[in-house]
Amino acid sequence: MSSETENPPKHIAIIMDGNGRWAKSRNLPRWKGHEAGAESVREVIDACIEANVQYLTLYAFSTENWNRPKPEVTALMKLLEKFLVSHTSDLQKNNVKLQAIGRLKDLTQGPMNALSKTISETKNNTKLNLILALSYGSREEIVDAVNNIIKLTKEGNLDNTELTTSSFEKHLYTSNIPDPDLLIRTSGEMRISNFLLWQISYSEIFISEKLWPDFNKNDLFEAIDSYNKRDRRYGEV
């Protein structure tokens, strides 16, 4: 595949699964799998730029991940901070704008500071919108949207009229982000895992058997080629 793809998906979302199994198969600690997975993130960002994808959302840390063993959670937070600090210059060079969705207030201080700094420094970039889903859960997102609507209505800041799908989605974390055209999940698992449940209603789905640390640029291009061969009907004939 070349960067001359006629109709690349505007927005790709990825469930990056398999870091732990990758590490276990090599008799390595789980954090080594997450570290290797960070390199796949870098490669996929480059591939999306080459393919002229406009939005890339990565499921980096779920609300459920907080229930993992404390040493693993700590390692993940440190890896997130390290990734942001070490890759901000690359994001700038490649004209990538960083955004984040989720219950970000739950992040520890180091990663939160690094995230805020990178978001601020890349806010004017225009080539690719990179969205990290952090402390993210789709059910939690929908509940947060409902609670925000209730709050605004009680305060008199929202008309007490019947909701529509269009008016409701304005209260989601992704209110200014188009729905994904293509959802990729690695490691062969056939689950959505509480990821963008509202937004992927009509997304095409591509399952890769590869574990995330083994997923590379060519695998992303394969997913895009598969997407381009499909007929998206959105429920119509």
Question: Percent of the chain beyond pLDDT 90?
Answer: 90
65 is a catalytic site residue: yes
Active site residue 159: no
**Domain assignment of residue 144, yes or no:** no
- Note whether residue 25 is domain-resident: yes
What pLDDT, on the 0 to 100 scale, is given for residue 2?
A: 47
In a domain, 150, yes or no: no
Check 52, 65, 125, 148 and give the catalytic one.
Answer: 65
User: In this structure, is residue 36 part of a structural domain?
Assistant: yes
- What is the tally of structural domains in the chain? 1
Q: What is the pLDDT of residues 129-163, one digit of tens each?
A: 999 999 999 999 999 999 999 999 999 888 767 88
> Do the domain assignments include residue 185?
yes
3-state secondary structure the chain: CCCCCCCCCCEEEEECCCHHHHHHHCCCCHHHHHHHHHHHHHHHHHHHHHCCCCEEEEEEEEHHHHHCCHHHHHHHHHHHHHHHHHHHHHHHHCCEEEEEECCHHHCCHHHHHHHHHHHHHCCCCCCEEEEEEEEECHHHHHHHHHHHHHHHHHCCCCCCCCCCHHHHHCCCCCCCCCCCCEEEECCCCCCCCCCCCCCCCCCEEEECCCCHHHCCHHHHHHHHHHHHCCCCCCCCC
Q: How confident is the model at residue 7 (pLDDT cuts 50, 70, 90)?
A: confident
Q: Which of 17, 19, 129, 219 is catalytic?
A: 17
In a domain, 34, yes or no: yes
Query: pLDDT tens, 29-71?
Result: 999 999 999 999 999 999 999 999 999 999 999 999 999 999 9
Residue-level pLDDT at 3: 42
State which residues form the domain around 98.
11-137+179-228
Looking up residue 70, the CATH number of its domain turns out to be 3.40.1180.10
Residue-averaged pLDDT of the chain: 94
Q: Is 67 domain-assigned?
A: yes
Tell me if 90 is assigned to some domain. Answer: yes
